[in-house]
Amino acid sequence: MIQVGPYQLRNSLFLAPMVGVSDTPFREICAEQGAGLTVAEMLTSNSELWHNERNRLKRIKPKGSSPHVVQIAGSNPQLMADAAALNAELGADAIDINMGCPAKKVLKKAAGSALLKDSDLVSQILKEIVSRVDVPVTLKIRTGWCPKSRNGVEIAKIAEDSGIQLLTVHGRTRECRFKGQAEYDTIAAIKQAVSIPVIANGDIDSPETAAAVLQHTSADGIMVGRAAQGRPWIFREIEYYLATGSLAPKIDLQTRLELILSHVMKLHSFYGDLKGVWYARKHVAAYVAELAGSREFMKHFNTIETPAEQLKQIQEHFAFLDAYNGAEAA
């Protein structure tokens, strides 16, 4: 089990902070499905922008017992420390610092993974933030700026010396973005170099991969990102596999339906009828992508404009799938 400050986590399986995906409703669903920790979508450290609706919603604490972790991004040590302190005052249980995002609009502001080019600035930012808040501070990085400059071990040592309590490492450089395969050798080297908990991230899309990455890196836990969208039960699958060495029984249609309905209702409640319907479309698309008739279903589903009709159409589609599977089995 991993301890983050005063918080004992139920397991070492984390949900990654994905912009446009890891909102409060999705974090609640993933926690219900076995994630020991979920991290909020990246939030700018410029608090003057927090009043817009999107940034306001990013700071809402999910229901449940897991710590509320707010991730901030920026490059100005003072502004980032101010943002961390304000989030802590507003109820964040921990602050995560983003030094891993490869997005161009983030890099233009010398934030995210761009910071990995300047170890002195990294040290300044981390020390400033840790000194300003009483809650645990964690950090997410990549293995470096580019394959020729994998300085993850150096940054990890700076993080530990600065008072960072947990480190997540994505097994790619900024230059790699999300292309190619993640490499775990650097994560293993980082784990050997520091004594704080290290979480491995990148291309973990199955229980078997999770187990292999943990064995290869000796990391204290793993973080799942894109593989959780449309499949939040992956956390239960991984937890089961790590405990038993066997694959969990495949999720059945009824369980999947109940989970989707729960998630969609959370979205409607959280965002309101209009935007809740919009956000539900991409999540439902991910949930049904591998199922029969998904293309035709989504073509119609994307035209629906009311919460009640969305719920009705999901139930009807799953009734069709049940009948379809019954016919296939006959």
Q: Are strands 7-8 and 3-4 parallel, antiparallel or unpaired?
A: antiparallel
Region for residue 118 given its phi and psi (left: phi exceeds 0; alpha: psi -120 to 50; beta: otherwise): beta
Active site residue: 30, 101, 146, 176, which one? 101
- CB-CB contact of 97 with 158 (8 Å): no
Task: Report the C-alpha gap between 70 and 98 in whole angstroms.
Answer: 10
Could you give the CA distance from residue 214 to residue 240 in angstroms, rounded to a whole number?
A: 15
Give one DSSP letter per residue of 269-298, joined into a string: HHHHHHHHHHHHHHHHHHHHTTSTTHHHHH
Backbone angles phi, psi at 80, to 5 degrees: -70, -40
Catalytic site includes residue 30? no
Amino acid at 236: R
As a whole number of Å, the CA-based R_g of the chain is 20
Residue 14 DSSP SS3: strand
Active site residues: 101
